[in-house]
Amino acid sequence: MGGVADRGRSRPPLGDAGVKRPHFHGRVEGAAERCAVPGCEEPGEFKAPLTASSFNGPGQWRWLCLAHVREHNQTYNYFAGMSPEEIQEAQSPTAGWDRSTRVFAYGPGGDPGPAWGDFKDPLDAISARFRPAGPPPRRSRFSGEEMHALDVLGLDEESDLHAVRKRYSELVRRYHPDRNGGDRRHEKQLREVIDAWQRLRQARAFAA
């Protein structure tokens, strides 16, 4: 008498000792598919991969019952069909992320940055928060106009007043018409050199 009636009852999944677990992880309640294993009449409530997903897209899937998805999980080889290079990349702890450049500086005392410090941050939006503040940039002892005057003379800000005076004398001799047979084509450069000297000789950097 129980043959037909039994077929109308819902049977507990195999291997559960008669205990129904409706919230088993990964189960799709009310799945219309049957278990894909030939001869199995249990509902296919679990989606299992036929092949490993590739870098070009997802792999193929099939529906299995609880007993057969457990068996599948014990024998499934995720790396099947992959090349050694693909296996190595898939096993990397940061697979899928570009680790070509470490953008985070080490913290005080040489402590490494956080684990997410290997991710690229081209706009420096995250790493700037972690990077310790370095020494403030050195402030020039010359004003902007004085720096321009040094540039006219071909000197840098490490020059002292003696070097400025020496360079001024050299350029005056080079550009003065009397040293060029009366040629006045260098008058503009001569005026710039004289103005640069007048500004630098009064610079506060040389007052000491």
pLDDT tens-digit series, residues 115-135: 555 555 555 555 555 566 667
Q: Rounded CA gap, 18 and 120, in Å?
A: 52
The closest of 131, 143, 119 to 199, measured between CA atoms, is 143
Assign a CATH topology to domain 144-206. Answer: Helix Hairpins (1.10.287)
The closest of 131, 139, 132, 153 to 201, measured between CA atoms, is 153
pLDDT at 184: 83
Query: Per-domain residue ranges for the chain?
Result: 2-91, 95-104+112-129, 144-206
Mean pLDDT, residues 198-205: 90
pLDDT at 109 over 70: no
Percentage of residues in the chain with pLDDT exceeding 90? 18
Question: pLDDT for 76-103, tens place per residue?
Answer: 666 666 676 766 676 565 555 554 444 4
H helix intervals, the chain = 2-8, 66-75, 84-91, 127-130, 144-153, 161-175, 187-200
Q: Rounded CA gap, 46 and 23, in Å?
A: 12
Give the CA distances from residue 18 to residues 10, 21, 64, in Å, rounded to whole numbers and listed in that order. Answer: 11, 10, 19
Phi and psi dihedrals of 171, rounded to 5? -75, -35
